[in-house]
Amino acid sequence: MKTLLMELERNVEAEIAVQTGIQGLLDEQLEILLHGGTKNLTPLLARAEDGLDRSRSLEQERLGLLARIGAKLGISAKEVSLKIIEERIGADAASLTGKGAELKALIERIRDRNREVGLLLRHSVLFIEDLVRAVTGQTAAAPTYTREGAMAPPDVGSLAAEA
């Protein structure tokens, strides 16, 4: 069992490294969106895709390890969690639980940063659409759903008012 726990800990450490890299790439992406230099965005997105591929690979490996640990504990892989491992095994899993908490916090920070980047991208697209309408004299874009659920043409600059 100790070997399985060591493999799982190594896997979580590798995932922390990958997610830390992804967080750095999101920070770079945010910097590009705020200050320009969009030519650097394409290689950055390619590096992010590589990180996501590595993360998926680690997740598959982790699922296999959890299935093996579950079999040793006599429970299904879906029931295995760091909390159950620590409860059943004790001190051998304490380090693993700490790394799991670190990974969870890191992923939450990445989600927050990803929301910021998404909002900036959405704002940029709406700004460009508004600019094109102003230049071409087009009065309104195709109707969309409002927050109340009705169909209406979007207001020029509507995102700026939301932000």
What CATH number has the domain bearing residue 23? 1.20.58
- The answer to whether residue 9 is domain-embedded is yes
Phi then psi for residue 42, to 5 deg, are -60, -50
Phi then psi for residue 26, to 5 deg, are -65, -40
- The answer to whether residue 30 is domain-embedded is yes
- The answer to whether residue 151 is domain-embedded is no
Q: Write down the number of H helices and E strands in the chain.
A: 5, 2
Report the largest interatomic distance among the alpha carbons of the chain, rounded to a whole angstrom. 70
Helix or strand or coil: residue 143? coil
pTM: 0.69
Which residue range(s) make up the domain with 96?
Answer: 2-115
- The answer to whether residue 101 is domain-embedded is yes
The pLDDT profile of the chain, 163 residues, written as one tens digit per residue, is: 778 888 988 999 999 999 999 999 888 888 887 887 778 888 888 898 999 999 999 999 999 998 998 998 898 888 888 888 878 877 667 788 888 889 999 999 999 988 888 888 787 778 777 778 778 877 655 677 778 888 776 665 554 444 4
- The answer to whether residue 132 is domain-embedded is no
* CA distance from start to end of the chain: 51
Residue 97 in contact with residue 82, Cβ under 8 Å?
yes
- The identity of residue 25, as a single letter, is L
- The answer to whether residue 106 is domain-embedded is yes
Number of C-alpha atoms within 13 angstroms, CB side, residue 136? 10
Query: Structurally, how many domains does the chain consist of?
Result: 1
